[in-house]
Structure 1
Amino acid sequence: MPPPGPSPAPALSSVHAQGREKLLAHLAMLLFAALIAGSFSFGGMAAQHLDAGPLTLMRYLMTVAVMGVLTFWIMRVPFALPQAIWRYAVLGGLIATYMLTMFIALEFTSPVQTGAVFTLMPLISAGFALMFIGQRTRPDVLVALVTAGLGAIWVIFRADVQALLSFDIGRGELIFLAGVIGHAAYVPLLRKLSRGENPVLFGFWIIVFTVPWLVPTGARELVSLEFRALPLSVWATLAYLSIVTTAFTFLLLQYASMRLPAAKVLGYGYLTPSFVIVLEGLLGHGWAAPAVILGALVTAAGLIVMGVLKD
């Protein structure tokens, strides 16, 4: 009689563990989308009182402190100097570009419009994922990305067919598009440039190396700034951005990026315009036009399709 084969239990357990990790990654990105939406609304309020350069630099100086406490005190990660510093400089530069262009864009356009530009990120990221790590996007996933992207474009052009036909895109939207392209490259590069470091420590050093990129645009004005004259809304926004939408969302993105394809990770950005529209209305900033809301719902529908499709 031949000896019994290996038990399938360990393999089955591994499949269940992978499925559980993917589910947690999806939930992490759902929370990510909700928290990111707040950065557009609250960032728009702060941008009325402080220029983009010093505002972004202040945010990241505070974030370095927050991430330092999280990394070395709360999570007890052993301190280690970064290796191959150029990796952190590249990733930090991409994040700095994204954040700086977001605050500049909010000086020219609304949070809903910037939130719509943000939703173009998954489609762009799919292209970078193919270029950097050879990660191909399934045809059905690509169709979902393109469909949702069309909804985002409808919102970007303010549901105005004439503006769309004449390609009358606002200055703020164009500025933020440059930052979105940088962030779209960041996600697949995060996986490509990682060398197995502790993800929290890796994230801390990326935040540290974001700061030098922001010094030229904000240091001079920050030195001469009257901090006591800043309204409470600016300080509240800085706290939210530093703690919630930088440190916390960074960890969410880091976790999901290691478990889901790049296009699916950023596919959750499709919910951003819908969250921003709701938040703007609740804050008393006015509700978007029904035609614009329709475009936001189309992009959100793209998320549902993305969620049910295989990797």
Structure 2
Amino acid sequence: MKTTGFAIAHASMLLWALLIAASFSAAAQVSQAIDPILLTGLRLLFCALVFLPLLLLKGDTVMTTRGLLGHAVLGLLLALYFGSLFEALRYTSAVNTGTMFTLVPLMTLGFEAVLTPDSRLKQRIVPMLLAAAGAVLLIMKGTDPGELPSPYALTVYGIGCLAMALYAPLSQRLKANSLKGRGPVPMTFWNMLFGAQFLLVFCGFSGGWRSASLLTLKDFYWLMYLAVFATLATFWLLHRAIGVIAPSSVISYIYLSTLFITLFHWFWGRQMPLPLELAGAGLVGIGMFALLMSSRRAVLAMVQS
């Protein structure tokens, strides 16, 4: 394995972490008067349409009934996550949703242990617990000094984070069976197309479609940004790096994104760091460093063997 390959993979994930961090603030820029389910449905639909030309060029449009069912389940998980993000942002800050997202890897470990068991998962537990503890301290900061985050927002987004944590292990499990041989392009297209359909159909019954008249050019711009950079680009960067560096190193960049979110909050928001935030950021940093060292040792052992 070439050193340059690892450097490029890590640089890709650094960009991934920046895009993830920026996505939470971008999502908060969309008008809160518009139904969040409608916003999410449009976002996923835009993503699917961007990938449609690539899908047609590859000629990868044939799908079995079992394959469609698998994509439908994965699409539902995506719909739950993105829908919960927009809904939670009505009641809490982008900082809180962004830092709570860092708990997803820890949740993913639990699902991986059930769906795709691996003895090496144990090596990630302690570093992820440290980083997760730091994320919890950051979440406790609340929207304003001394104010805890909305319990409703944490509950709603917590459900969405569980759905996102289940997404990766379930995708891996399905790709070994009903979705065997599916590449990142068709996986992204079908999953997001199904997710968009679920949400837009729900809007038809709930009446959320009526808020579409409130959609401005500014809202449309932010939706396109979220679709292209916060969803499609991050998905591509993730799959670009995951075959080069150890999985634990890839997962650890989620923790790096929370440091970027906190820095955005301190510098652009002109907020003085609180002791609770400093402690949380420190724990996240220590946890991420431990994960990177663990991954490096695993790679060296693999090369030597």
Give the TM-score taking structure 2 as reference length: 0.82
In structure 2, the partner of 1:249 is 234
Quote the Cα distance in structure 2 between the aligned partners of 1:47 and 1:136.
Answer: 46
Quote the Cα distance in structure 1 between the aligned partners of 2:94 and 2:152.
Answer: 14
In structure 1, the partner of 2:302 is none
Structure 2 CA distance for partners of 1:25 and 1:86, relative to 1, 3 Å: farther
Query: Is 1:187 aligned to 2:154, yes or no?
Result: no
1:224 to 210, 214, 218: 210
Root-mean-square deviation (CA, aligned residues, Å) is 2.9
Please list, as runs of the form range in 1=range in 2, the aligned pairs for 1:1-311 lying within 5 A after superposition: 16=1, 24-72=8-56, 76-83=57-64, 84-158=67-141, 170-194=151-175, 195-219=180-204, 221=207, 223-225=209-211, 227=213, 229-257=214-242, 263-280=248-265, 285-287=269-271, 289-294=273-278, 295-310=280-295, 311=298
Quote the Cα distance in structure 1 between the aligned partners of 2:71 and 2:4.
Answer: 30
CA contact (8 A) 1:59 1:241 kept: yes
Q: Measure how far apart 1:191 and its partner are.
A: 1.6
Percent of paired sites with the same residue = 28
Q: Measure how far apart 1:217 and its partner are.
A: 3.6
Structure 2 CA distance for partners of 1:196 and 1:224, relative to 1, 3 Å: same
Give the TM-score taking structure 1 as reference length: 0.80
Could you give the per-residue CA deviations for residues 10-36 of structure 1, whole angstroms, max 9, x where no partner exists? xxxxxx26x766655444332222111
Q: Measure how far apart 1:178 and its partner are.
A: 0.8
Q: Measure how far apart 1:222 and its partner are.
A: 5.7
CA contact (8 A) 1:122 1:262 kept: no
Give the match's secondary structure for 2:14: helix
1:114 maps to a residue whose letter is T
CA contact (8 A) 1:42 1:237 kept: yes
1:122 maps to a residue whose letter is P
How many residue pairs match? The answer is 286
Give the match's secondary structure for 1:120: helix
Quote the Cα distance in structure 2 between the aligned partners of 1:79 and 1:183.
Answer: 25
Q: Measure how far apart 1:262 and its partner are.
A: 5.4
CA contact (8 A) 1:98 1:176 kept: yes
1:147 maps to a residue whose letter is L
Structure 2 CA distance for partners of 1:190 and 1:20, relative to 1, 3 Å: farther
Quote the Cα distance in structure 2 between the aligned partners of 1:288 and 1:254.
Answer: 37
In structure 1, the partner of 2:301 is none
Q: Measure how far apart 1:279 and its partner are.
A: 3.3
Quote the Cα distance in structure 2 between the aligned partners of 1:55 and 1:106.
Answer: 12
Quote the Cα distance in structure 2 between the aligned partners of 1:261 and 1:188.
Answer: 16
Give the match's secondary structure for 2:107: helix
2:160 maps to a residue whose letter is G
What stretches of structure 2 of length at least 5 have no aligned partner?
Answer: 299-305
Could you give the per-residue CA deviations for residues 21-72 of structure 1, whole angstroms, max 9, x where no partner exists? 6655444332222111111101112143422111111112212211213444
More divergent stretch after superposition (176-185 vs 243-252)? 243-252
Quote the Cα distance in structure 1 between the aligned partners of 2:133 and 2:273.
Answer: 17
